[in-house]
Amino acid sequence: MVKLAGPCFSQEASGKLGGALVFSRWKGRAYARSLVTPANPRSGNQTGRRAMWAFLAQEWAGLSEVQKASYEDLAESLSISPFNAYVRFNQRRWNHWKAPSAAYPAAESDTLPTLGALSAVGGTRSAQITQAVTTAADGWAVAFFRSPTGTFDSAISNLVHVAPISGTDPVVFVDSPLDPGTYYYDTRAISLEGKMSAETGEAATDPVVS
C-alpha cells in the first residue's frame, strides 16, 4: 500500500484504474495499491477461512465485557478496534491450525466439551448434519468438515461451517446447496480458551437428490 498526497490529482480519488490500481482512503489517509483478484475465491482454503471469519463475527456481540476488554491492549498496539484485533488474532491462530479463543491471549487451559454421535441425512440438494453434545464443559463451538471421499483428515481447506455450542443441545448444520452425490462429514469441538478436540468420527449422507 502506498500513501498519497493527491492521488490522480484529487484528494478524493477512489476506485479502480486500468484494472491495475485501486485508490481509496483508510483512517483519513489516501492510498493506492495494486488490484489483486484471487485466482479461485471458492478454493477450499478461501472458504475454510471465510467460515471461521463468519463464526468470529457472529460471536463478538455475545462475548462478555471482560473477554472484549482483553483485546483492548492488542487493538491499541495495532491502531485498530478491539473487534478487528479479535478477528485478526484468531484468524492468524486458525491459519496455523489452532482454534480461536474468546479472550486474549489464548490460555488453552480449559475443558473441551464431549461430543457424542454424529449423523448426516441427505435431502434435496442439501444435507442435515447433527452433532450430539454429551457434556458442555467449556465448549464454544463445533467445526464441521466435509469431503467427497471417506477416511479424510480435517483441515482448513475442508472446513465448511462453525456453529456455537449451547449447553448439551445438539448442534445442527444444514449444508446447502449441494450437487448430487455422497458427502462425508466430521467434526471437532472448540473450547472458549482456544483448544480443539480430536475428530469425532465420520458420518456420510445418502446420495443427494437433484
> What is the DSSP-derived secondary structure letter of residue 179?
-
Does the predicted model carry a pTM greater than 0.85? no
Residue 102 lies in a domain: no
> What is the DSSP-derived secondary structure letter of residue 208?
P
Mean pLDDT of the residues in the chain: 88
Residue 71 lies in a domain: yes
Residue 209 lies in a domain: no
Angle at 72 between CA 59 and CA 161, to 5 degrees: 20
Tell me the three cell numbers of residue 120. 448426516
> Do 11 and 52 have their domain in common?
no
> Do 91 and 123 have their domain in common?
no
Helix (H, G, I), strand (E, B) or coil at 177: coil
**pLDDT tens string 66-123:** 999 999 999 999 999 999 999 999 999 999 999 999 999 999 999 999 999 999 999 9
Tell me the three cell numbers of residue 45. 482454503
Cα–Cα distance measured from residue 97 to residue 103, given in angstroms and rounded to the nearest whole number: 18
**If you average pLDDT over residues 56-71, what whole number do you get?**
98
**If you average pLDDT over residues 177-206, what whole number do you get?**
96
How many independent structural domains does the chain possess?
Answer: 3
Tell me the backbone φ, ψ of residue 68, rounded to 5 degrees. -65, -40
Residues 47, 55 contacting (CB under 8 angstroms): no
Residue 104 lies in a domain: no
**If you average pLDDT over residues 198-208, what whole number do you get?**
91
Q: Which domain holds residue 156?
A: 114-204
> Do 141 and 91 have their domain in common?
no
Helix residue ranges per DSSP H, 18-120: 44-60, 65-69, 72-78, 82-95
CATH number at residue 119: 2.60.40.10
Residue 105 lies in a domain: no
> Do 88 and 164 have their domain in common?
no
pLDDT on residue 2: 45
pLDDT-derived band at 199, boundaries 50, 70, 90: very high
> Do 22 and 54 have their domain in common?
no
> Do 153 and 121 have their domain in common?
yes
pLDDT-derived band at 13, boundaries 50, 70, 90: low
Residue 134 lies in a domain: yes
pLDDT on residue 209: 75
Cα–Cα distance measured from residue 87 to residue 53, given in angstroms and rounded to the nearest whole number: 7
Q: Which residues pair with 139 in a beta bridge?
A: 191
Q: Which amino acid is at 158?
A: N
**If you average pLDDT over residues 129-153, what whole number do you get?**
97
Q: Which amino acid is at 66?
A: V
Cα–Cα distance measured from residue 184 to residue 148, given in angstroms and rounded to the nearest whole number: 6
Tell me the three cell numbers of residue 32. 493506492
Decide if pLDDT at 38 tops 90: no
> Do 86 and 124 have their domain in common?
no
> Do 129 and 186 have their domain in common?
yes
Decide if pLDDT at 181 tops 50: yes
